[in-house]
Amino acid sequence: MSRVRFLIGTVIVAAVFTIVLSGQQKRERGGQEEFGPYNVVENWQKPLKEATPGEFNGLTWGSQGAVFAESADRIWVAQRGMRELPAGSKPWIFGGATEPPIAGTAMHRPIHVIHVLNRNGDVIQAWRHNDQHFAHKGGRGPHKIKISPYDKEKHVWVIDDNLHVIYKFTYDGKLVMTLGTVGVPGRSGNNFNRPTDIAWLPDGTFFISDGYVGTRVAKFDPNGKFIKDWGQPTKDPNNPQPNEWRTVHSIAISKDRRIFVSDRNNNRFQVFDEEGKFLDMFPSGTTNSTVYYHLISDDQFIWAGDGGTNRIIKWDLNGNYVYGWGGTGNGPGQFDGPHQLTVDNEGNLYVAEVFNGRIQKFTPKPGADPTKVVRAEARPGW
């Protein structure tokens, strides 16, 4: 009996050893997880459509501040106008790749601001009639573009920080609401000082992060009536307190109605209830970590574009770091200013870069670890 047991044990050990060895042989040797769980779709963003032949000769995309994936075939883009290419440049080269680089964040020509791309990166819709709203003196073009996940009519919201306004358009491009006074800064009620982002509750109540200068979060009813606000400037940058801000840069709401706000230049997140009561705060990372944008995925994790480290970062809702990838550069899959990120219904990730001046598309690798793939925000109202 003991000899039989010995032989069985030997066979089992050998089998396990073979399985382990086989697994080791299949593992990739060397390198790093450069683009996380994704493949990069190189040169995805296609040239803009001209209204007249030669209209865009010598021009290219401007700073790309905003992108929102309605679906895999409808990717909304709000760029900061168009830029002039340096002499001798190839046509339609993005600003971060020219010599010298031209992207920057300022708007050069306020044309072809809002448009929609299909899955191949081709322009399928353009709101040229709305360029006028971004052409005022002092403007630099849109900061964010979004559609409420609870709005069956899919109104399109565009935040313009330098003009101190939030625009609400119908799905086909008619302006139906303007919050703020164009070109006039303020910090009370419907007057903003460089607003940055927007987030909604299921009943349509919404919150504005205001912003670069406003140092507050402002709450509005579904019709745009001001309800309340909270926040103040940071008194001691070396010891920022709760409800103090240095650049209120993005905002998102969890399923349990907690409001997560990026306090960008204080290198942290602050968390509130829907009435503005402070609940929590946690650091976003190293001292050069500055979160430009964050979303809360349908499985309730925070995913962010970190403009300080040029990485895509994941935290749980308690602020525990989970995962991150990315790096600085203008090559495929690298970042310079990941300013807004979004995920379509097929799991593809899109990142708008303000300094490189491009939108990048990433597709999940076959068999990718699902915990490393950015999931879309829940959209229960569509």
Q: Which two tokens stand for residue 105?
A: 């964040």
Task: Evaluate whether residue 151 is within a structural domain.
Answer: yes
How many domains does the structure of the chain reveal?
A: 1
In a domain, 72, yes or no: yes
* Domain carrying residue 45: 34-372
Distances from the Cα of 129 to the Cαs of 66, 147, 176, 260, 365, in angstroms? 19, 20, 14, 35, 39
Residue 220 lies in a domain: yes
Residues facing 298 on adjacent strands = none
Place of tokens 């509130």: 272
17 is a domain residue: no
Residue 24 lies in a domain: no
- Asked if residue 143 lies in contact with residue 159, where contact means CB atoms within 8 angstroms, the answer is yes
State residue 21's pLDDT score: 37
Q: What pLDDT was estimated at residue 32?
A: 74
| Cα–Cα distance, 36 to 46 (Å, whole number) | 24
Q: Which residues contact 119 (CB under 8 A, 6 or more apart)?
A: 72, 73, 75, 348
CATH code of the domain containing 220: 2.120.10.30
pLDDT at residue 28, as a whole number = 55
Return d(Cα 144, Cα 107) in angstroms, integer. Answer: 15
CA distances 108 to 55, 81, 335, 339, 362, Å, are: 15, 6, 22, 19, 28
Please give the torsion angle defined by the CA atoms of residues 343, 295, 360 and 329, in that order, rounded to the nearest 10 degrees: -150
> Which residues are CB-contacts of 47 (< 8 A; sequence separation ≥ 6)?
56, 91, 92
Tell whether 146 is covered by a domain: yes
Residue 19 falls within a domain, yes or no? no
Q: Using an 8 Å Cβ cutoff, are 313 and 307 in contact?
A: no
Query: pLDDT tens track of the chain, all 382 residues?
Result: 444 444 444 444 444 334 333 444 345 576 677 899 999 999 999 999 998 999 999 999 999 999 999 999 999 999 999 999 999 999 999 999 999 898 788 778 999 999 999 999 999 999 999 999 999 999 999 999 999 999 999 999 999 999 999 999 999 999 999 999 999 999 999 999 999 999 999 999 999 999 999 999 999 999 999 999 999 999 999 999 999 999 999 999 999 999 999 999 999 999 999 999 999 999 999 888 999 999 999 999 999 999 999 999 999 999 999 999 999 999 999 999 999 999 999 999 999 999 999 999 999 999 999 999 999 999 999 9
Token couple for 352: 């708008």
Whole-model pTM over 0.85: yes
Between CA 326 and CA 343 the distance in angstroms is 17
Domain-located, residue 379: no
